[in-house]
Structure 1
């Protein structure tokens, strides 16, 4: 039994340490929603991304201002955006000769978005903080020397410190910027 356990542990160790590192650490500056982001590897095909900035956001149903009838409710808020990403197509991209640097690939993730007090806009989102949590599917690509593009989407559950909450069927994110 001891030999079997030793063999299994050795096999797992050799397998883990012999795999090619596929994810990379990268700093980014995003200009569509101005901010800075750091993406760090947490595994062979997974990363943790943390972004800080000030950006455009729509309103959640519980927070829309009742006297606004423009059809488009928006706000500019400070935000913290955290995503744990699992990349699933690095090997396929490498076989096709496509770029995988700075984590260029397709992913599924768990995303947590925190927004602060509305700076300006036609929506009073909150006087304090609100949060959104949910799974996403997305793609991110590096084009040229250091241009970065990320798109992801997924359903979210949102809540705020005042007790407002609900489910929103589709949250979209588009980031354009530069890898440093």
Structure 2
């Protein structure tokens, strides 16, 4: 009887200890790439289920001709700065089902806030000076592939405002913006 109680107590303590370890990582740092860019990110723990992701990188894109009638769409490589709080809502369930949660591997809901400054790297000389700001609620998943590799998929719709200026002529634009991303990354 004493042996049974001892075994049950140890099993109970193990379960309690395991449930207390279900949390986002204190800090995770990595590099991700996708079809439309390359980014370096850091996620810092704010609570057991919330992490603050900060990201800098380059987005690839094509400038819309709707801003200026006489302007052809060039290929652009623009820097981007992102601040994104993420709520990982299924870490406990994944842990209970013996699935990986390291590197913040789980499902998340995020509020992606991005800013593209007035700078384009691969651009033509007569291109307008453009910057934009976007706030996009996003749902996504991140999963690990091996020890350091991961992939991430996300989908969201939000608000963006573009500030465009060319030769003293200003044309700003607000619109709905779609955020779809498929990225593969390396976690350091």
TM-score w.r.t. length of structure 2: 0.72
- 1:127 and 2:129 matched: yes
Query: How many residues matched?
Result: 159
Larger radius of gyration between Structure 1 and Structure 2: 2
RMSD of the alignment, in Å?
2.8
Residues 84, 110 of structure 1: 8 Å contact kept: yes
Q: For residues 1-180 of structure 1, what are the structure 2 equivalents within 5 Å? A: 19-24=20-25, 25-32=27-34, 33-57=37-61, 63=67, 67-68=71-72, 75-116=76-117, 117-120=119-122, 127-162=129-164, 164-180=172-188
Q: Residue 24 of structure 2 aligns to a residue in which SS?
A: coil
Shift of 1:37: 0.7
* Structure 1 moving runs of 4+ over 6 Å: none
Shift of 1:153: 1.4
27-36 vs 51-60, which moves further? 51-60
Q: Residue 151 of structure 2 aligns to a residue in which SS?
A: strand
Shift of 1:131: 0.8
For structure 1, list consecutive stretches of 5 or more residues without a partner in the other structure.
1-17
For structure 2, list consecutive stretches of 5 or more residues without a partner in the other structure.
1-18, 165-170
In structure 2, what is the Cα distance between the partners aligned to 1:134 and 1:51?
15
Cα deviation 1:119-161 (Å, max 9, x = unaligned): 2258x98514211112110111121011021221111211134
Residues 118, 126 of structure 1: 8 Å contact kept: no
In structure 2, what is the Cα distance between the partners aligned to 1:27 and 1:55?
19
- Structure 1's 161 and 105: CA in aligned 2 closer, same or farther, altered over 3 A? same
Shift of 1:67: 4.5
Residues 30, 178 of structure 1: 8 Å contact kept: yes
- Structure 1's 51 and 66: CA in aligned 2 closer, same or farther, altered over 3 A? farther
TM-score w.r.t. length of structure 1: 0.75
